[in-house]
Structure 1
Amino acid sequence: MLGYVVNTLKAARFQYPVVFPLTVVATAICAFWLAILKYFEPAGKRRGRDGTRSRLPRGPRGCRSLACSRRSPTGTLNELAKYGEMTTMHLGSKTWILLNSHRVINEIIAKRGSLTNTRSPMPISSGLVSRDRRSIILPQEQWAERRRVMHGLLSGTALRQYGTWQEEESTKMMAEYVFQPQRWYRHHYRYANSVIVRITLGDRPFDMLDKDLEDMQNAVTFFLGSIGKGIVDWFPKLAKIPRVLQVWCPYWERLGQWNYELYSKWYNPVKAKVENGTAGPSFVRDYLMHPDTRFKGDSDDLMYVAMQLIEAGSDTTREALNIMTMAALEYPDIFAKARAEVDRVCGVGKDARLPTLEDMEVLPYISAMCKEVLRWRPIFPMLPEHVATQDIEFEGYYFPAGTGFVINGSAVGMECEDPERFLPERWLNGHEQDIAHGLWQFGGGRRICVAYRLAQRSLFINVARLAQCIDYKPNGPYSPDKLNLEAVDEPFSVQATLRSEDYKTLILEEARRIGVLEEVQAKFYQL
């Protein structure tokens, strides 16, 4: 066959001396372009490892350009869900299957978790920005060891110790509300950051200033903003071209260096204390750096494990408390129901006490309210992709290995009756105390957020206390659909006031009893 083609070309060379060179060039260009297309073919369009053709759900017309990956042809995630329980999108050389219903998420992410447990390459966000050390976007083989050591967060002893700290930091936050209620949004972030720093690092590595908190918040914002920002994250094989041609590298490397230096500023003082035996209890001392843990990573791996817990724990808790505040403005009747439940358990006026974590079993409406906060305005409209490590057959579909499955958090949150309404009652089903039951904001399967129980307890204690003690009213025009959750300043206009003098006294007396009142007074100078 090859001889026939060669002889044909030789004959054409003499018969068509003018056209022949153009034909050869055109053929070469076409062959080169076809080879490029094949090399960058989306994962979902490839054959399975046994040669079976892929069979994928419907979706918008595929697009291999970065522009299409950043802007869906049909608009919002809810619109994409109109294709059915699953929607196929070809983004660069990646294929995403949006999972738009609880049922398919449970089937593919939960029940088939052993097959959908890795991530696709992200040369910018994972490589250059995170130095291949942020476990949330690492492939399975690099993630597993980090996951193993993070299970220390789930022990009963740890949860009891951490619970004491959560209650203390919450009391401090309530005292901050007494002194400066207009800075409610800063108090939310101060609490969220302080409690996860205390859990992770023990003694704070330094006195946190507003600039320090903003830098940590920016680290999260910059990292999330780097995901999918450059074309190489959508065409990972471009990372194999000669370094001199990778013009995107210097910018992202500088961001990665800034991130590394910020982490070091927070982590290194505690690391030194652990090494010289002066560190107090913490996740770093008692688990990460404990010799019995036998962590296989290096010192930088330890630092990134610790600091990503701080990033995730501080930012998401802050955003969830801000969403709760918005719900209090929009649904004062719901907030009143939550307050009535707390009053029934904790007393009213001069006879009241602050709720504690031990009250979780007898405050189911507060627990349901925490779940509804995350459903009503999901912090994560899309969850990180779960990539198939093997070919998967599912209900007539055939997904080749390398296909990514993405939880469509926005659409799944709408999969209920009257979804636009904030209604905690929808969660009063006996699973109120399990915030991950029926809710996918913490991910699912084997890669579910390991600290979700800590997050639940932080939300519970603060929602209960804020419902008990604080009145919220609008302080200007706002839109409940436009929550600027990334804002350092006030995300929407709120007037927060103490419920009464009795609750002001209650908060200050409790703050004095546990020894945080003087610290708050020193911060705000006077009552």
Structure 2
Amino acid sequence: MTTTTSPVTQLTLRLQTISKEHPFLFFTGAIILSIIALFTFVAEYFKPLGKRKLKDGKPPRLPPGPSGLPIFGSLIDVKEGIEDEEHKKLKALRQYGEMATLHLGQKTFIFLNSSRVAAEIITKRGSYTNERSSYPVSSGIISHNHRRSVLMHQDAWAEPRRIMHPLISGSYLKTYGTWQELESTQLLAEYIFHPKLWYRHHFRYANSVIHRIALGERLAKSTKELVDLQNCVTYFVSSVMTSMVDWFPDLEKLLPWGFVQPWRLSWGWLDRWNYNLYKEWWDPVKAKIDNGTAPPSWVRDVLLHPDTKYTGDDDDAMYAAMQLVEAGSDTTRLVLNVVFMAALEHPTAFAKAREEVDRVCGKDENARLPTLADLEGLRYICAMAKEVMRWRPIFGVPPDHTATKDFDFEGYHFPAGTGFVLNIPALCEEVKEPDSFVPERWLDGHETNIAHGLWLFGGGRRICVGYRLAQNSLFLLLSRLVQSFDLEAAGPYNSRHLHFHATDEPFPVNMKVRSHHYEKLILSEAEKHGVLEDAKLERDKL
């Protein structure tokens, strides 16, 4: 009687023979097969949303886009596109049309390359595209358990947004405007005393304005303290692209126990450092509010005022205040540097702006400094502020807007969880001759609203709450700069390389006061407002 051996038994016997006769070949093959099996499991487990089948068994209908690498998708390309000051890879996404689908790790993002689709999806459909995707490291660990509102989920974000809303109200803007004018006057005096340190003056001005508004006192921090605060922003932003867990958030489900999550050790130090630094700035302010000696500020009069009925704890309040300080300082500093680059590259536009200021604010011995009350009358200056931000955008992409429900749009089907990203470099070049500096393109009746038609502040319900404060700071700098100073290059430079993260001079500039009339005007105004000696001492400290 013949015994039939099953195929499994035959394979087992064959493998046993190979393992005895060719052990190296056997173990090499076993390792290769294990790697293939592991790769297949990882690829399937972390398959991005846009490649998963819907309930009907079909894949979602998404716009075209680059295929990317296995598992990682287009993560590397996007990271390089953000770090490149020219944003070449982000601009190249326009080849796919008004929208481009990118798979970034486990996430699927739709990059919005035109204002039309951005308005349709971010603004008109904001009621269900207002969520944020999950960022376990940057929004969790580094942000001390989701205390940075920029990446908060919708339910947690509503409360900090509520308390920040007064920052855009008329009464508060008027009060804050007085402080902005004072700090701007000191900035002008600093230009006169030490013109070669212009980039440092921008650092002080941007920090001092938002510090006074948020915390109530004029800035009295060392250069090291200011650099540390700037690094809070730098480290936070860089963590978003460098932490793989933020792009593969299901790792938390796969490894749910803290002791087997190595990223908690690798990023935990940054959370502690950030928290302690915030405390050093926050505790003295909180103490003065508690004992009744604090000056007027957003923290005293809104955030911690009993009538506000803020529902967060002390740490929540600290993060709300400090993220306002750090966000409002570093971005303003960078835009002010772009103003200087634009002045070097496009002197004709600045000469035209000077003509407008002279017409409204007087000339030579009859001149006065522009104030925020002149904003309506200096519309070319307002247009120039928008063109500065469009011409050289200071960042590539803001946080995503994630859909909370499935929806259809122009033949595409986007499942819940799809992220939508404003492709800022592409949107900024959605004009005729985008590399030209043409403030006139914004003279459309909306020039006094810096967020109208300009996506750098975000859009929809998640638009940056401080955009009017930023507009006022930029307006004061621009109007007073073109009125009183002449700028020229002090050496070779590349107008596309602004060295945004540099702490020394980003590009060479010579500046001098326009005439003795304007020097006298600036110094007398600085003395009248009590900032003349501060300007001199600040130079010594730097």
The interval holding the TM-score normalised by the smaller chain is: over 0.9
- Match of 1:160? 174
Question: Are 1:355 and 2:350 matched, yes or no?
Answer: no
> Partners of 1:155 and 1:165 in 2: how far apart?
16
Task: Provide the rounded CA distance (Å) in 2 between the counterparts of 1:129 and 1:269.
Answer: 23
C-alpha separation between the residues in 2 aligned to 1:80 and 1:348? 48
Match of 1:123 in 2: 136
Contact 1:63 1:92 in 2 (8 A): no
Q: How does 1:368-447 map to 2 (within 5 A)?
A: 368-447=383-462
Residues in 2 aligned to 1:521 and 1:32: alpha-carbon distance in whole angstroms? 65
Q: Separation in 1 of the partners of 2:296 and 2:328?
A: 18
| Structure 2 CA distance for aligned equivalents of residues 371 and 320 of structure 1 | 11
Which among 165, 183, 200 is matched to residue 151 of structure 1?
165
Which amino acid in the other structure matches residue 258 of structure 2?
A: R
Deviation at 1:76, TM superposition (A): 1.0
Aligned 8 A contact 1:46 1:400 in 2: no
Using the alignment, how far apart are the partners of 1:17 and 1:479 within structure 2? 68
Q: Contact 1:124 / 1:226 at 8 angstroms: preserved in 2?
A: yes
**Aligned partner (choices 458, 479, 499) of residue 484 of structure 1:** 499
Counterpart residue identity of residue 144, structure 1: A
Q: Counterpart in 2 of 1:291? A: 306
Aligned mates of 1:397, 1:293 — CA distance in 2: 43
Is 1:109 the counterpart of 2:122 in the alignment? yes
Question: Does the 8 Å CA contact 2:43/2:70 hold for their aligned counterparts?
Answer: no
> What is the rounded CA distance, in whole Å, between the counterparts of 1:218 and 1:24 in structure 2?
47
State how far apart, in whole Å, the 2-side matches of 1:455 and 1:124 are.
29
Q: After superposition, what is the alpha-carbon deviation per residue over 1:45-75, rounded to whole angstroms, capped at 9, x for unaligned?
A: 2344676630011111133545840225996
Q: Residue 63 of structure 1 contacts residue 90 of structure 1 at CA under 8 Å; is this kept in 2?
A: no
Q: CA separation in 1, counterparts of 2:354 and 2:54?
A: 56
In 2, Cα distance between equivalents of 1:494 and 1:36: 52
The alpha carbon displacement at 1:244 in A equals 3.5
The reply on whether 1:267 has 2:282 as its aligned counterpart is yes
Secondary structure of the corresponding residue to residue 160 of structure 2: helix
| 1:88 alignment partner, one of 94, 101, 105 | 101
Shift in Å at residue 123 of structure 1?
A: 1.6
> Is the 1:66–1:231 contact (alpha carbons within 8 Å) kept by the matching residues of 2?
no
Contact 1:49 1:391 in 2 (8 A): no
Match of 1:226 in 2: 239
CA-to-aligned-CA distance 1:253-288 (integer Å, 9 cap, x gap): 111111111111111111111111111110001111
Question: Relative to 1, partners in 2 of residues 1:16 and 1:505: Cα closer, same or farther, differing over 3 Å?
Answer: closer
Instruction: Give the alignment partner of residue 460 of structure 1, picking from 466, 475, 488.
Output: 475
Question: Which residue of 193, 205, 218 corresponds with 2:207?
Answer: 193
3-state SS in 1 of match to 2:192: helix
Cα separation, partners in 2 of 1:171 and 1:29, compared to 1, 3 Å = closer
Other-structure match for 1:312:
327
The 3-state SS of whatever aligns with 1:239 is: helix
Question: How far apart are 1:352 and its partner, in Å?
Answer: 0.3
* Structure-2 separation of matches of 1:13 and 1:97: 47
Tell me which residue corresponds to 2:153. Answer: 139
| CA distance in 1 between partners of 2:487 and 2:126 (Å) | 42
Deviation track 1:367-422 (CA, whole Å, cap 9, x = no partner) reads 00000011000112212111111112100001111111110000011110000001
Gaps of 5+ in 2: 17-25, 82-87
Q: Give the TM-score normalised by the residue count of structure 2.
A: 0.90
Deviation string for 1:88-125 (max 9, x for gaps)?
11111011111000000000001011111111111221
**Residue type at the aligned position of 1:130:** S
Work out whether residues 73 and 104 of structure 2, in 8 Å CA contact, stay in contact via their aligned partners in 1.
no
Measure, in 2, the Cα distance between the counterparts of 1:521 and 1:24: 73
**Distance of 1:512 and 1:25 partners within structure 2:** 77
Aligned position for 2:379:
364
Matched to 1:300, the amino acid is D
Task: State how far apart, in whole Å, the 2-side matches of 1:65 and 1:169 are.
Answer: 50
Aligned residue for 1:295, secondary structure, equals coil
Give the conservation status (yes or no) of the 8 Å contact 1:49–1:401.
no
> In the alignment, which residue of structure 1 is the partner of 2:189?
175
1:43 aligns with 2:49: yes
Q: 1:213 aligns with which of 206, 222, 226?
A: 226
CA distance in 2, matches of 1:524, 1:29: 61
What CA RMSD, in Å, does the superposition of the two structures yield over aligned residues? Answer: 2.4
SS in 1 for 2:246: helix
Q: Residue 522 of structure 1: CA displacement?
A: 3.4
Q: Quick check: 396-405 or 71-80, which moved more? A: 71-80
Q: Is the aligned partner of 1:282 residue 2:297?
A: yes
1:71 and 2:77 matched = yes
Amino acid at match of 1:280: P
Give the TM-score normalised by the residue count of structure 1: 0.93
The answer for the alignment partner of 1:13 in structure 2 is: 8
Percentage identity across paired residues of the two chains: 54
Q: Structure 2 vs 1, CA of residues 177 and 33 (structure 1 numbering), >3 Å: closer, same or farther?
A: closer
- How far the C-alpha of 1:35 sits from its partner, in A, is 4.7
Which residue in 1 is equivalent to 2:535?
520
SS at match of 1:76: helix
SS state of the match for residue 250, structure 2? helix
Structure 1 segments unaligned to the other structure (5+ residues) = 1-9
Distance of 2:362 and 2:56 partners within structure 1: 66
